[in-house]
Amino acid sequence: MTMNNQGRPSAVGTSENHELPTISGDRGLDHEEPLIFEIGRDGMTGVDLPDVQMSETRLGGMRRRKPIGLPGLSEPEVIRHYVRLSRMNYAIDAGLYPLGSCTMKHNPRLNEKVARLPGFGDLHPLAPQSTVQGALELIGELMMWLTTLTGMPAVAMSPKAGAHGELCGLLSIRAAIAARGEVRKRILVPASAHGTNPATAAFAGFVIDEVKGTADGRVDMVELEGKLGPDVAAIMLTNPNTCGLFERDIRHMADATHKAGAYFYCDGANFNAIAGRVRPGDLGIDAMHINLHKTFSTPHGGGGPGAGPVVLSAALAPFAPLPLLVRDSRGFRLIEDRDELPARAKPFGRMCAFHGQMGMFVRALAYMLSHGRDGVRQASEDAVLSANYILASLKDVMSAPYGNGPCMHEALFDDSFLEGSGVTTLDFAKAMIDEGYHPMTMYFPLVVHGAMLIEPTESESKESLDRFIHVLRELALEAIAKNTVRFDGAPRYAPRRRLDETAAARKPVLRWKRKDLPQAAE
CB within 8 A of 141, min separation 6: which ones? 365
C-alpha 397 chain-centroid distance: 29
Average pLDDT over residues 351-355: 86
Residue 321 binned pLDDT confidence (cut-offs 50, 70, 90): very high
Give the E-state strand segments of 292-330 in sequence order: 310-312, 324-328
Answer for the pair 161, 304: CB distance below 8 angstroms, yes or no.
Answer: yes
Residue 511 binned pLDDT confidence (cut-offs 50, 70, 90): confident
Residue 8 binned pLDDT confidence (cut-offs 50, 70, 90): very low
Average pLDDT over residues 264-293: 96
- Phi, psi (rounded to 5 degrees) for 32: -75, 125
Average pLDDT over residues 442-463: 94
Asked if pLDDT for residue 17 goes beyond 70, the answer is: no
**Which of 99-108, 186-195, 508-517 is the least confident region?**
508-517
3-state SS class at 393: helix
Query: In sequence order, what are the beta bridge partners of 232?
Result: 186
Residue 264 CB-half CA count within 13 A: 25
Asked if pLDDT for residue 5 goes beyond 50, the answer is: no
Count the neighbouring beta carbons within 10 Å of the beta carbon of residue 389: 17
Report the percentage of the chain scoring pLDDT > 90.
Answer: 69
- Confidence (pLDDT) at 12: 42
Count the neighbouring beta carbons within 10 Å of the beta carbon of residue 364: 25
To 5 degrees, how large is the angle CA 377–CA 383–CA 387?
145
93 or 423: which leads in pLDDT = 423
Residue 64 binned pLDDT confidence (cut-offs 50, 70, 90): confident
443 or 511: which leads in pLDDT = 443
Among 53, 35, 66, CA closest to 519: 66
Q: How far, in Å, are 38, 67, 521 from residue 510 at the CA level? A: 15, 21, 11
For 231-271, the pLDDT digits (tens) are 999 999 999 999 999 999 999 999 999 999 999 999 999 99
The mean predicted confidence, pLDDT, of the chain is: 90
d(CA 86, CA 83) in angstroms, rounded, equals 5
Q: Give the start-to-end residue ranges of the domains of the chain.
A: 110-365
- Confidence (pLDDT) at 19: 63
Answer for the pair 272, 382: CB distance below 8 angstroms, yes or no.
Answer: no
- Confidence (pLDDT) at 379: 96
Task: Give all strands of the β-sheet with 441-442 in edge-to-edge order.
Answer: 411-413, 452-454, 441-442
- Phi, psi (rounded to 5 degrees) for 372: 75, 170
Average pLDDT over residues 338-363: 90
Answer for the pair 348, 179: CB distance below 8 angstroms, yes or no.
Answer: no
Type of residue found at 267: D
Predicted TM-score (pTM) of this structure: 0.88
Give domain 110-365's CATH number out of 3.30.565.10, 3.30.360.10, 3.50.50.60, 3.40.640.10.
3.40.640.10
Percent of the chain as helix, strand, coil, to the nearest 5: 35, 10, 50
Cα dihedral 170→176→181→187 (10° resolution): -30
Residue 110, judged by CB atoms within 10 A of its CB (0-12, 13-18, 19+), counts as middle
- Confidence (pLDDT) at 313: 98
Report the percentage of the chain scoring pLDDT > 70.
Answer: 93
- Phi, psi (rounded to 5 degrees) for 506: -90, -25
Please provide the DSSP assignment of 31-58 as one string: -----HHHH--TT--SS--------HHH
Answer for the pair 373, 149: CB distance below 8 angstroms, yes or no.
Answer: yes
- Confidence (pLDDT) at 9: 45
CB within 8 A of 129, min separation 6: which ones? 136, 332, 333, 334
For 37-53, the pLDDT digits (tens) are 888 888 888 888 777 77
For 160-196, the pLDDT digits (tens) are 989 999 999 999 999 999 999 999 999 999 998 988 9
- Phi, psi (rounded to 5 degrees) for 254: -65, -45
